[in-house]
Amino acid sequence: MPGKSDHVGPDDDRQPTSTYTLVDTILLVGHLVEHRMEQALNGLSLTARQYQALRHVADTPGLSRGALGRRLRLSPQGAGALARRLREAGLVDYVDASPGQPVSFTITESGQVSLAEASSIVAITTRHILSLLPEMTVECLADATRTLTDRLEKSPM
């Protein structure tokens, strides 16, 4: 575990010097990007997570609650609550299955319209965020995050 002197706080302009502070930085960047996306999608009354859920349901009609949860890294209950909010907004529909069978989600016409609008907003916001970095850095960052995601998903805790 890093010593206290290795920690980079919010008022400290030193660069991270340990794995611990790199993880802190990754978490902070994730939070800031999600916050930017939330702000951008606010006019559509969508959260970033709801946008992701709509994308998955649109890509895979009949997606089960468990599969949606796995794709979003949520529990089936968390995915169900998220889908319930989307259903209440008229963006997805689902069929209650027989006992023991999974509930399946489909995107509604209204959901498709919202997803198209949201996708445009997300693309613009993404371009803005990435414009804050040199192109070479973006390419390296994309490669590094794909590699890290792949390895984290495959490695045991």
Does any domain span residue 107? yes
CATH number at residue 122: 1.10.10.10
- CA 155-6-35 angle, to 5 degrees, is 65
CA dist., res. 111 & res. 125, Å (int) = 20
Q: Write down the pLDDT at residue 4.
A: 44
pLDDT in tens, 27-81: 999 999 999 999 999 999 999 999 999 999 999 988 988 899 999 999 878 988 9
Does any domain span residue 6? no
Q: Write down the pLDDT at residue 156.
A: 83
Is the pLDDT at 8 greater than 90? The verdict is no
Does any domain span residue 86? yes
pLDDT in tens, 89-133: 999 998 877 777 777 899 999 999 999 999 999 999 999 999 999
Within the chain, residue ranges assigned H as helices are 19-41, 48-59, 65-72, 76-88, 109-131, 135-154
Is the pLDDT at 2 greater than 50? The verdict is no
Structural domain range at position 53 = 18-151
Matching residue, tokens 């089936």: 76
Phi, psi (rounded to 5 degrees) for 46: -120, 145
Q: Write down the pLDDT at residue 22.
A: 84
Domain count for the chain, please give it: 1
Phi, psi (rounded to 5 degrees) for 17: -120, 5
Does any domain span residue 3? no
CA dist., res. 88 & res. 108, Å (int) = 12
Does any domain span residue 1? no
- Element (DSSP H or E) covering residue 93: strand 92-95
Does any domain span residue 143? yes
Amino acid at 71: R
Residue 105: how many other CB atoms lie within 10 Å: 28
Does any domain span residue 105? yes
Q: Write down the pLDDT at residue 1.
A: 41
Is the pLDDT at 142 greater than 80? The verdict is yes
Q: What is the pTM of this model?
A: 0.79
* Interval 18-29 mean pLDDT: 82
